Structure 1
């Protein structure tokens, strides 16, 4: 057998061993948090940004399902796009912020993940839950120059999200860092309105106090 024919035969027989079912194996490995299996597929040339049938990329799937080993294996890949959006327009940094995964947020920021994505931003997602980790993530995003009054497509700001879904601590942090309490969304609602809708009187009072502080002092005759 000639060298050329032997080379062709090796290629034909080896390819199925490497790639047969690789697509299914990749997503199965992520969901069982098998970082070694994910890394092995990536070393063989599998695209880390491959999407599943629902348009989700591996990084986001790993974050959604609490799979840190798979996440770390994916993030270690040079070719991985840390700003890849899923079918809902969410980035891995947004998902890490939503999940309160402080370590993942730090790791993504170290890879230059986009802090100021247009539309819904990571800061909105960090403000949408009330654990201490979410407040820490808000602070970290702000340290990395996140725009504090980022407006979603319907004009919602991170302060509004924190007032409705987050914690009083997150509301206070955003106010202390300069969030504008007077802004309104497309429905004409302020952050105080968001808080009052869910009977969060303490947050509403914090926001009202911030608005008063912004008003010029009026002298008395």
Structure 2
């Protein structure tokens, strides 16, 4: 059967369209990989160029992590600044585990970033694990001071009943423990495993801290 010239032209157009579509998908895939690689190595010029070309600043990697969270975790401070300046950035976006950039900044002890995120409206007291729990294991007490000054819930409970004091007793700076106690944290509180702050301190061989906390429960 002889194909009409019009049919051949239509077939050619469809073939060209398919090739161009495939090239577009490949370009987008390349941009995706380049974006997250640039965050990892703190290459702000690459991230800025991709954003100028329309890349989504709220894109997630294969594990559901957003760019600002990753930049604060790495840390990649130059990339974090580029993302921060983007007008469409969702600065309080949670990852698949419910962790936000504020929580990561709090855990890392990035006081300036904690201050900036709070000023922009990032939630301190969201349900579940939140910045109070993560700030309790910061390298020192300054993050916790800032969170408390901005309405942080000292009795916040995680999904398994853990409080900021329990987190600080297990993995935090003892100055954070003291600060929480001074502000009224309950040393007798127990989580869903029936463990207190003293028990969690003891689990990490922080015997002196555990003894101090145990005295407060008598």
TM-score by length of 2: 0.81
Residue 126 of structure 1 and its aligned partner are, at CA, apart by: 1.6
Corresponding position of 1:116: 125
Report whether the alignment pairs 1:58 with 2:71: no
- The match for 1:202 is 208
Show the counterpart of 1:31. Answer: 40
- Equivalence map 1:32-47=2 (5 Å): 32-47=41-56
Matched residue count: 194
Q: Which has the larger radius of gyration?
A: 2
Candidates 133, 139, 148, aligned match of 2:145: 139
Moved over 6 A (4+): none
Residue pair 1:172, 1:206 contacting (<8 A) in 2 also = no
Report SS of the residue matched to 1:207. Answer: helix
RMSD: 2.0
Q: Which runs of 5+ in 2 are unaligned?
A: 1-19
Contact 1:175 1:207 in 2 (8 A): no
Q: 1:90 is matched with which residue?
A: 99
Is the 8 Å Cα contact of residues 168 and 202 (structure 1) preserved in structure 2?
no
Please, which of 130, 133, 136 is the counterpart of residue 127 of structure 1? 136
How far 1:211 sits from its partner (Å)?
A: 4.1
- Alignment equivalent of 1:156, drawn from 157, 162, 179: 162
Consecutive unaligned residues in structure 1, runs of 5 or more: 1-11, 213-221
Deviation at 1:33, TM superposition (A): 1.1
1:165 aligns with 2:171: yes
CA shift for structure 1 position 210: 4.1
Give me the whole-angstrom Cα distance separating, in 1, the residues matched to 2:77 and 2:188: 39
**Cα deviations across residues 70-92 of structure 1 (Å, max 9, x unaligned)?**
01111111211111111222111
Distance 1:78 1:97 in 2: 23
Deviation at 1:160, TM superposition (A): 0.4
Aligned to 1:183, the other structure's residue is in SS state: coil
Take 1:137 and 1:184, find their aligned partners in 2: how far apart are those partners?
24
Please state if 1:76 is matched with 2:85. yes
Superimposed CA distance per residue, residues 85-131 of structure 1 (whole angstroms, 9 cap, x where no aligned partner): 112221111111122222222221222111112111111112125x2
Q: Please name the residue that 1:179 is paired with.
A: 185
Q: Which residue of 2 aligns with 1:218?
A: none
1:156–1:185 Cα contact (<8 Å) kept: yes
1:216 aligns with none
Show the counterpart of 2:109.
100
